[in-house]
């Protein structure tokens, strides 16, 4: 088991060694560690080698200059200069929160970004500071439509985090596909069969073999039109509103081209609860909502959890005992440690 602090140190040092600036190293590591700490391993430190490839190849700008490209009132547009997606989105959420404190709500559209990482990391930034946060992004096509037999949407994540007085926030962090593609890669690494109905082969037939996956199913199983609709919502916020590429126009995340920027868009929103009423009323409502949710009658052998509860449990366990690194990620770390002369994470 590897301590979280050691994973954090290793990732930062590798990013700096490959030529990324300090802001990129900090933001990218922070986002990956959110994923690893909270059990979102598909978007955790296993992405380090991929990001180094994209930085080294030129897809991601190692030293971007983020600039305000437009906006008025509570709205801004950020040009990320092909920055790492985490750097762009953390910056955008900071601006959205500043606008929300002034206007009650703040919205920032992001242009010319890169891979988003764990959407919950950015929404959580708002919740930690007492605001409601939302984050959206589209990605390259890998999800069929409901009843479709070809790739159309990306996994197009949606996240929302809401502060709760005296306890961890309510946190929704979801792909609009049945599972994220990085989960398929994780299952390939561990040789684990996929759950039923989450992925398809090249002609749209369901498969549990992670090696045979050519596309993902939309969220919702037999009612997958709902997942496809939510993917469209993320697509409109992230690409249509920002003028960036639609999912089916984005170059594949896994290459082979790692030299050309991918032109990703994203969108974040921050809301100041007391702009709509008394803060005390909002906090009392969230407290009662979560209390009744968690104490409602449960089915036999089931435990009721609010969105985020599983993540907080995993985080507590991993902060105390560290993290098991899957075989493929361990091998990638060994290569990176040797290539950049960075000390392997100590157990």
Q: Please check whether residue 329 is in contact with residue 186, taking contact to mean a CB–CB distance below 8 angstroms.
A: no
The pLDDT, as a whole number, for residue 260 is 96
CA neighbor of 326 nearest in space, from 47, 21, 29: 47
Q: Please check whether residue 119 is in contact with residue 135, taking contact to mean a CB–CB distance below 8 angstroms.
A: yes
| 36-55 average pLDDT score | 95
Give the C-alpha separation, 347 to 342, whole Å.
15
| DSSP H or E run through 246 | none
The pLDDT, as a whole number, for residue 126 is 98
Distance of CA 83 to the CA centre of its chain: 16
Burial of 226 (0-12, 13-18, 19+ CB in 10 A): middle
**66-275 CATH fold:** Ribosomal Protein S8; Chain: A, domain 1 (3.30.1370)
CA neighbor of 294 nearest in space, from 285, 302, 304: 304
Enter the pTM of the model.
0.94
Residue 39, Ramachandran bin (φ over 0: left; ψ between -120 and 50: alpha; else beta):
left
CA neighbor of 118 nearest in space, from 195, 202, 175, 185: 175
Which regions of the chain does DSSP assign to beta strands (E)?
Answer: 67-72, 75-79, 105-113, 132-137, 143-144, 151-153, 158-164, 167-174, 199-200, 215-216, 264-271
Give the C-alpha separation, 9 to 15, whole Å.
10
| 101-111 average pLDDT score | 98
Q: Which of the two residues, 223 and 282, has the higher pLDDT score? A: 282
pLDDT tens-digit series, residues 47-62:
999 999 999 999 999 9
pLDDT of 347 higher than 80: no
Residues 6+ apart with CB under 8 A from 290: 164, 167, 170, 306
The pLDDT, as a whole number, for residue 61 is 98
| 278-282 average pLDDT score | 97
The pLDDT, as a whole number, for residue 118 is 94
| 20-43 average pLDDT score | 96
Give the C-alpha separation, 33 to 15, whole Å.
14
pLDDT tens-digit series, residues 161-188:
999 999 999 999 999 999 877 778 878 8
194 pLDDT band (50/70/90 cuts)?
A: very high
pLDDT tens-digit series, residues 315-343:
999 999 999 998 889 999 999 999 999 99
The pLDDT, as a whole number, for residue 70 is 95
Give the C-alpha separation, 299 to 185, whole Å.
33
The pLDDT, as a whole number, for residue 188 is 87
CA neighbor of 6 nearest in space, from 322, 313, 339: 322
Cα diameter, the chain: 56
Give the C-alpha separation, 123 to 132, whole Å.
7
Helix 85-103 and helix 119-128, axial crossing angle in degrees, nearest 10: 30
Give the C-alpha separation, 246 to 301, whole Å.
43
Residue 204, Ramachandran bin (φ over 0: left; ψ between -120 and 50: alpha; else beta):
left
Residues 6+ apart with CB under 8 A from 123: 93, 133, 134, 135, 159, 160, 161, 171, 172, 173, 268
Domain limits of the chain?
66-275
| 68-72 average pLDDT score | 96
Q: Please check whether residue 94 is in contact with residue 266, taking contact to mean a CB–CB distance below 8 angstroms.
A: no
The pLDDT, as a whole number, for residue 318 is 97
């Amino acid at each position: 088991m590897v301590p979280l602090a050691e994973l954090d140190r290793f990732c930062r040092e590798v990013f700096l060694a490959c030529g990324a600036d300090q802001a990129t190293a900090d933001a990218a590591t922070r986002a990956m560690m959110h994923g690893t700490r909270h059990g979102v391993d598909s978007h955790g430190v296993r992405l380090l080698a991929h990001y180094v490839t994209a930085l080294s190849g030129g897809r991601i700008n190692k030293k971007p200059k983020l600039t305000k490209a437009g906006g008025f009132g509570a709205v801004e547009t950020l040009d990320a200069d092909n920055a790492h997606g985490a750097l762009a989105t953390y910056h955008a959420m900071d601006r959205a929160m500043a606008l929300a404190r002034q206007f009650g709500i703040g919205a920032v559209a992001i242009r010319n970004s890169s891979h988003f990482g764990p959407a919950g990391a950015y929404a959580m930034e708002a919740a930690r500071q007492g605001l409601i946060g939302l984050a959206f992004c589209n990605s390259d096509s890998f999800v069929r439509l409901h009843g479709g037999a070809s790739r159309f949407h990306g996994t197009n994540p949606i996240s929302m985090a809401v502060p709760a007085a005296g306890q961890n926030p309510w946190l929704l962090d979801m792909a609009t596909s049945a599972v994220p593609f990085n989960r398929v890669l994780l299952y390939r690494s561990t040789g684990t069969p996929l759950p039923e109905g989450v992925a398809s082969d090249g002609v749209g037939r369901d498969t549990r073999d992670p090696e045979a996956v050519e596309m993902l199913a939309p969220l919702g199983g037999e009612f997958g039109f709902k997942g496809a609709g939510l993917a469209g919502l993320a697509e409109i916020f992230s690409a249509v509103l920002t003028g960036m590429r639609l999912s089916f126009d984005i170059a594949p995340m896994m290459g082979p081209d790692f030299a050309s920027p991918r032109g990703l868009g994203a969108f974040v929103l921050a809301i100041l609860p007391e702009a709509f009423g008394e803060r005390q009323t909002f906090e009392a409502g969230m407290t009662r909502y979560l209390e009744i949710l968690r104490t409602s009658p449960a089915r036999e052998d089931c435990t009721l959890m609010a969105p985020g509860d599983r993540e907080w449990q995993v985080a507590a366990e991993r902060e105390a005992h560290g993290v098991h690194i899957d075989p493929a990620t361990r091998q990638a770390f060994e290569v990176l440690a040797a290539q950049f002369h960075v000390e392997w994470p100590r157990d």
